[in-house]
Amino acid sequence: MDKFFECRSHSEALADGRFSYPGSTPHYAPDRTFDTKHFRLVVALDFARKTLKGQSFIRLSALSEHASEMVFDAVDFKNLKVVSQGKALKFEYTGRQIKIHWPKPVFRGASVEVAIHYQVTEPKLGLHFVGPDRQYPDKPLQAWTQGEDEYNRYWFPCHDAPQERATTEMIVTVPERFTAISNGALVRNTRHGSTRTFHWKHNIPQPPYLVSLAVGEFTEIKDHWQRVPVLYYCQPGREEDARRAFGKTPKMMEFFSKKLGVPYAYAKYSQVAAIDFIYGGMENTSCTTQTALTLHDERAHLDFSSDPLVAHELAHQWFGDLVTCKDWSHAWLNESFATYFEALFKEHDMGYDEFMYELRGNADAYFDEDKERYRRPLSTKLYKNTNDLFDRHLYEKGSCILHMICKQLGEAAWWRSMNLYLTRHRAQGVETVDLINAIQDATGKNMRSFFDQWVFKGGHPEFKVRTWWDAKEKKVYVRVLQTQAVNDETPLYTLPVTIELRAGGKSRRFQEVVEKKEQLFSYPAPSAPDLVLFDPDHSILKRVDFSKPESMWVVQLTEDPHVLGRIDAAAALGKLGSPNALQALRQALFQEKFWGVQGEIARALAKTNLTGALDALLEGLRQIEHPKARRTLYEALGTFVSPRVLTEVKSRGGSEKGYSAEAESIRTLGRMKDPALLGFFKEYLKRESWNDVLRCAALEAVGMLQLSESFTILKEYSRYGYHPNVRMTAIRRLGLLGRLRGDVQTILIDLLSDKYLLVQLSVVRALANFADERATEALMKYTSGERDGRLKRAAEEAIRKIRKGMENEFPANGKK
Ligand SMILES: [Zn+2]
């Protein structure tokens, strides 16, 4: 799965501090009496009734001696009938599981066949029907499924756990004008009058959650990688956008296949752009479902790319699909890999700077979660809902940990390990120990202690580093302290670290092992170094407090070949804010070649809050061209509330090439909090743009003005009928306005029962801003039952945040 696809700045951390809630229990994969070998699903979709009629023909083999009971997960099924060899079988149905009583026990290894006939109508999860209505008359009619983590049980019977694997067939009948896409190869596509039947067959065993069905009126765009058909499906009229979004797929398939030494394994690779999809993408085996929001026009393409999403889901075809976590406690073997390989493709495609900048973004996303929400081991059995695990630890932190493994092993050994891991466990379930063993067998390196520190425990090292040159001894000293609180959860780390000294244009590197709370390293040096670097390749996931003389930071900002070194220097100089620091930042802003560093320099300049910094940023707007750097320039200018900024930003924003720079210019104008700008923002509300990014920005700005008309406008745009991005922005902003207006809460509570999950999620998050019992009562309903795991989790976190807010407002001891 890809992380929730969202407009920048839509996500909001909910402060909490604990990962496992009351009700969390250790989770283990369930027992099985039978192993599924193959199932053939024969289904027909009735769009008008939102109904699926199905028959599943399942071949199984007994796992236990004298197996007499067979259990399938199946939620809210109707018209159930179970048949074997022409005879009806006895079964019990709880509404969640079908328990079949076999007439006589089956011997271990013996094979049996069973057919389950059933029907599901408007399933609460798993199978989604979307289509036009009065408020969205142009919405295409589609049906798509979302199996991960445990939602396919809502539309076909299965042992719904990733340890199960079977070959599969999907024979699906749909109205004639529709295309149905599923796993594997298309065996047949036949028309009978007003309907059409697609027969898909998948020959490599896959877990049930990766079985997929997507149906709609699609244009098929044909591409290929070697002999494998590569197909893109989108609604008619979006063909160019689909090519723009998915066009690099063959290049990615080539890259992953070659590097891993394991060619793409399946009969075809398709990507369907699904309307109202509830994730960014889902890596169903050989047939990924992507959100249609990722399709984009030429202008968006200037500073937006679908490549990360496409690469992520494609990487899962190896990590997640070909080898699958045996149970969810090892889900990082799916998600951390997809996230890291997404970055590796970026390196291949766009270079090392982009790669490292992405990894820095990943590290920061994890650090935020660690600081604002909770800390947990990457691999843990303790959770409440499976979906809770799909967080910034599982994706971003894990990607940084894989990068450390790669750096510790070295490139060749890393790829050899990946190859052995994939070939040894091809089409099987895996646990973390399988990865450890594959690395050990491929390289001789025993990484158990690394995994104990990084995968089975939580947190990261926090270093305090100090350096000085002793003129008498002619030595450079580097003192390294590990300052993280060491406890059951977070260890004192043992890890290799590089220290680099630069003097007179020459650099020397020293390999050290950090393993104690405090260590002192020293190196002979005839003169004081110009620069000392700790981990100059930025391989380690860590926090560092390294106080260096200003002159060193200036050298680092201009001479460090590593983008992250320059970024760290910019941040440090921004904090110092001295005349020298300002001067260095100003110069670097224009000399710097990489947009990411330019952006960070802009932020550092803003931090100084000096007039000279403002001058530099405005000059930046005149000179710097990269659309992504320009976006950050606007963002940085937002910290200076002044008529000068207002005039300059207002006159330039409208002629930006990229959407995101223009959108940011609107938000920056919002930050000026000038009521006279309301008319300007209202004009923007009429403007059409890709995914409504400009309208979203205008709504943000309207919200920042905090006028009573702001409230009226936000209320209007939160209504069912607008683009989901617009609604989510309006809802978030309403939440922030809430404290000023008593009626906001009522509006939000009404929106809780919205039809679209992502809107519901934004309502839950907005309600977390209210310290009011009414909000908690409304949210309570969403913490349990047949609901998306993210919704339950968000509702629970919101309630906690509200209760905390109420405690702060009305403390138990009566003092305020
Ligand atoms: Zn994923």
Q: pLDDT, tens digit, for every residue of 456-503?
A: 999 999 999 999 999 999 999 999 999 999 999 999 999 999 999 999
Separation of 154 CA from ligand 1 center, angstroms?
21
Distance CA 553, CA 559 (A): 10
Distance CA 334, CA 471 (A): 53
Question: For residue 802, is it within any domain?
Answer: yes
Question: For residue 550, is it within any domain?
Answer: no
Separation of 186 CA from ligand 1 center, angstroms?
25
Question: For residue 248, is it within any domain?
Answer: no
Separation of 336 CA from ligand 1 center, angstroms?
8
pLDDT, position 15 = 42
pLDDT, position 771 = 82
Question: For residue 640, is it within any domain?
Answer: no
Domain end point (choices 454, 481, 503): 454
CATH number of the CATH domain containing 348:
1.10.390.10
Distances (CA, A) of 778 to 43, 369, 783: 38, 26, 10
Q: What is the pLDDT of residues 611-630, one digit of tens each?
A: 999 999 999 999 999 999 99
Separation of 175 CA from ligand 1 center, angstroms?
32
Separation of 1 CA from ligand 1 center, angstroms?
3
Domain hosting 741: range is 673-816
| Contact in structure between 131 and 140 (CB atoms under 8 Å) | yes
| Contact in structure between 191 and 198 (CB atoms under 8 Å) | no
Domain end point (choices 454, 469, 495): 454
Q: Which residues have a Cβ under 8 Å from the Cβ of 627 and sit 6 or more positions away?
A: 302, 303, 656, 657, 658, 660, 661
Question: For residue 805, is it within any domain?
Answer: yes
Task: Kindly give the parts of the chain with pLDDT less than 50.
Answer: 4-15, 812-816
Pairing mode of beta strands 34-46, 51-62:
antiparallel
User: What are the residues whose beta carbon lies below 5 Å from ligand 1 (ion)?
Assistant: 1, 335, 338
pLDDT, position 813 = 46
pTM score of the predicted model:
0.96
Distance CA 459, CA 542 (A): 9
Separation of 284 CA from ligand 1 center, angstroms?
10
Helices first, then strands: H and E counts in the chain: 25, 31
pLDDT, position 320 = 98
pLDDT, position 17 = 60
Separation of 382 CA from ligand 1 center, angstroms?
21
pLDDT, position 6 = 39
Separation of 342 CA from ligand 1 center, angstroms?
10
Strands (E), 389-494: 428-430, 462-470, 475-482
Separation of 287 CA from ligand 1 center, angstroms?
14
Provide the domain count of the chain: 2
Domain end point (choices 401, 423, 454): 454
Separation of 290 CA from ligand 1 center, angstroms?
11
pLDDT, position 3 = 54
pLDDT, position 504 = 86
Task: Extract the tokens encoding 678.
Answer: 């309301």
Pairing mode of beta strands 287-291, 269-274:
parallel
Question: For residue 424, is it within any domain?
Answer: yes
CATH number of the CATH domain containing 790:
1.25.10.10
